[in-house]
A and B are shown apart, each in its own frame.
Chain A
Amino acid sequence: MYIIRHRPLFFWITGLLLAGALGAILVWGLPLGIDFTGGSLMQVQYASNVPPLATIEKQVSVVPLGVVSVRTAGTGQISIRSRTMTPGEHSAVLAAISQNASTTELAYTSVGPALGSQFTNKALWAIFAVMLVIVLYIAFAFRKVSRPVPSWGYGLTVVAMLLIDIIVPTGFFAAYCHFTGAEVDSLFVVALLALLGYCVNDVIVIFDRVREHLAKNEKTGLKESFEDTIGKSINETMRRSINTALTVALALLALIYLGAPATQNFALVMLVGVVAGTFSSICRSAPLLIPIAKWFAKK
């Protein structure tokens, strides 16, 4: 019952988290990678010592590419970012940096500007469509419990939760990018999509319990305040929410510490999202139903 009694406290924490995340996104921005903006990215491994970045920049500047960013990436590795290179320019850059050093190109990606903006569009549409369908499905699945909150109210609450569940890790990643120089790539979008799936499931488990109690109360004629029903439901499902989050977090930690560098940022975003999402499902999702119920009672 603790969570229900201290509802305002948790709403405040939510507000602060949300404000922090939005602040991070607005102040630092999300540095979009070439998957979104178009451009070329080369990852090069040096056999021996990496020359100073200024030297590499100078070597690359013989190829007229405009603004080129050269960064260190891991031991003995650098990454070179620029506008979309032609195959000819790409091999010219490779030749330029290999003059006095033995290098191997680990990976090269080049995305045309048109495809980049298409990816952004598609990703946003996909997230939007998934949310819409979730509202509809939940409104359908909860159609038998219409009091004190209509069934589509559950759907809308879930979507409100999901928005927060996505904004918080995004804000975290904006800060992370700001301090580490990481960039938003398509795997970040995949992480958000995976989080959508995880958090929906998490909230549904709690709402399912609310649904079960409401149906049981109606059957037995038990008069119980909506707040008590919700408090009971949260308490009964908390163990499960925490245990599931713990197992997923353990798997993600293994991925962060032992997994491939390519999936480390993915796992980190997921981990933040799972922790924040679990907090949000326990402390916010069902409590959020109470003000909605009150609002409908007034009408």
Chain B
Amino acid sequence: MTRYRVFAFVALIVGFLLTYFVWATQANPESAYQFKLGLDLAGGTELVYKADMSQTPAAEQSDALAALQGVIERRVNLFGVAEPLVQTERASALSGITEDRLIVDLPGVTDIKAAVAALGQTPILEFKLATTTNMGTTTATTYIATGLTGRYLSSAALQFGTGATAGLAAPTVVLNFNSDGAALFEKITAANVGHVLAIFLDGQPISTPVIQQAIPGGQASITGNFTATQARDLVRNLNFGALPVPITLENSSAVGPTLGAAAISAGVFAGIVGFIIVALFMISWYRLPGFVAAVALVEYLAFMLSVIKVIPVTLTASGIAGLIISVGMAVDANVLIFERTKEELREGKGAREAVHIGFSRAWPAIRDGHLTMIISGIILYWLGTSIVQGFALVFVLGVLASFISAVSLSRIFLLAIVPEHKEGIWKFLMGSGGHNA
């Protein structure tokens, strides 16, 4: 018993510290461990783009996707949003057709049009070789992608050189490639001297120079028909990054800050009231064990919330649903144990012995129930879309925690208090419903 009392004392201290951690990190707005709220709760905009990889060789797709993410991240930072999140997603699990997506979360932004416009200014830069075919009297020009795109660009600069218009300095955009891009550029120009290497911006040829000789050093210049302002904008946009692949907007959603805040306060209030009702029910029906279970549940919740804060798990409405269900499972594990204990008490066993046997009898059902739920949760996380994953992640964590807390916490607490025999007040305390033990 002394051993269990030491354990119980330690568990109480840990529980207290965890509760304090959850409370203190929430009370301090500067804390790094504030709850991370999903856009549905915090308010903000989510944009889902589809990346068109049809022109990109399979081997380079993941690189291109990473480059795309980098470019959009720079763009988003330019937009001035606190804690933006840019993610990429490869969806291929079931349909067999891979689809690459780019998910942009902008907390606090509710003007979708402005957000889309700010991201949409990112130019797509491509270099294509022109081949001319004679078709009777007319000639048709087709452009073939060279693989040299904006992702190989390291910087762009504006220069004024002497151009076609006499007396006026023609604005020239100078492109500097990175080392890979420079090598590729040199290779392409060396192999195609005399051909036209067209420079495409957002799908339009803006400059069609003829290759005079192989160009080493990784520098190209565009002298198109643009004004100084257009050239300056182009340079700025290119410097923030050119898109390696074209993207199209598939989904967009925005949640206003009032709706999100109302959802949180209502959710927290409902959670607290729900928890108090459940605790009161447990205590009135199961008496002492019910009280112990309520304490164990508080610890369980403090632990879960700490884990959610530390990992951190982004909380969404579906994640909170997962949390509620896992609390239900944690309650159930306790109910199972107490019902078994009650049966043993009815057969005339001593209080402590009944608790011991009750736990071991309830164990197979708890194990099988929890394991099937954990396996189901993992499958859901693996197969599901983001909203299902939000549920599955919290659910799996919660069921795991319930697994541990039900068989350790309630047990340690009960064994730390319950005496060997049921006498006097213990007959009442260990009873349940309308019966004493």
A-side interface residues toward B, CB under 8 Å? 35, 43, 45, 86-88, 90-91, 104-112, 114-115, 118-119, 121-123, 125-126, 129-130, 133-134, 137-138, 141, 186-187, 189-191, 193-194, 196-198, 200-201, 204-205, 208-209, 211-212, 236-237, 239-240, 243-244, 246-248, 250-255, 257-263, 266, 270
Contacts and interface: CB of A to CB of B under 8 A. Distances in A.
Contact of B251 (A110, A193, A209, A261): A110
A122 to B, nearest CB: 5
A182 to B, nearest CB: 16
Interface stretch (B159-167, B202-210, B327-335): B327-335
B267 A204 contact: no
A112 B331 CA distance: 41
Interface in B9-31: none
A133 B336 CA distance: 24
Interface string B102-123: 0000000010110011000000
Given A194-B325, A251-B324, A263-B267, 18 more contacts: A87-B113, A87-B116, A87-B117, A91-B113, A106-B256, A107-B259, A109-B253, A112-B50, A112-B249, A114-B250, A122-B94, A130-B379, A133-B375, A137-B371, A187-B321, A243-B339, A261-B263, A266-B317
Interface in B310-328: 317-318, 320-322, 324-325, 327-328
Contacts of A240: 332, 335-336, 339
Contact of B249 (A87, A200, A244, A255): A87
B391 A193 contact: yes
A43 B258 CA distance: 12
A117 to B, nearest CB: 10
Given A108-B112, A122-B383, A260 B266 contact: yes
Given A87-B116, A187-B318, A251 B250 contact: no
Nearest to A251: B274
B335 to A, nearest CB: 5
Contacts of A191: 321
B133 interface: no
Contact of B332 (A45, A115, A201): A201
28 contacts: A87-B113, A87-B116, A106-B256, A108-B254, A109-B252, A114-B50, A115-B251, A118-B91, A123-B384, A123-B385, A133-B376, A137-B371, A138-B368, A186-B318, A187-B387, A201-B373, A204-B372, A209-B365, A211-B364, A237-B339, A244-B336, A248-B328, A253-B274, A254-B270, A257-B270, A258-B269, A263-B317, A266-B321
- Per DSSP, chain A at the interface is helix
B380 A201 contact: no
B317 A200 contact: no
Contacts of B33: none
A106 B259 CA distance: 6
A197 B395 contact: yes
A186 B387 contact: yes
Majority secondary structure, B binding face = helix
Interface of B: 40, 48, 50, 91, 93-95, 110, 112-113, 116-117, 249-256, 258-259, 262-264, 266-267, 269-271, 273-275, 277-278, 281-282, 285, 317-318, 320-322, 324-325, 327-329, 331-332, 335-336, 339, 343, 361, 364-365, 368-373, 375-377, 379-380, 383-385, 387-388, 391-392, 395, 399
B95 A205 contact: no
B266 A259 contact: yes
B374 to A, nearest CB: 10
B253 A110 contact: yes
B329 A201 contact: yes
A201 B113 CA distance: 47
Contacts of B383: 122, 125-126, 129
Nearest to A203: B369
B25 to A, nearest CB: 23
Contacts of B40: 262
Given A87-B117, A108-B252, A250-B274, A201 B372 contact: yes
Given A126-B384, A208-B368, A260 B262 contact: yes
Given A197-B377, A243-B335, A190 B321 contact: yes
Given A239-B339, A254-B277, A255-B270, A107 B256 contact: yes
Contact of B263 (A105, A122, A262): A262
A163 to B, nearest CB: 15
Nearest to B391: A190
A244 B330 CA distance: 10
A17 B327 CA distance: 29
Of listed B91, B262, B365, residue having the most chain A CB within 10 A: B365
A247 B281 contact: yes
B16 to A, nearest CB: 24
Given A190-B391, A243-B285, A263 B252 contact: no
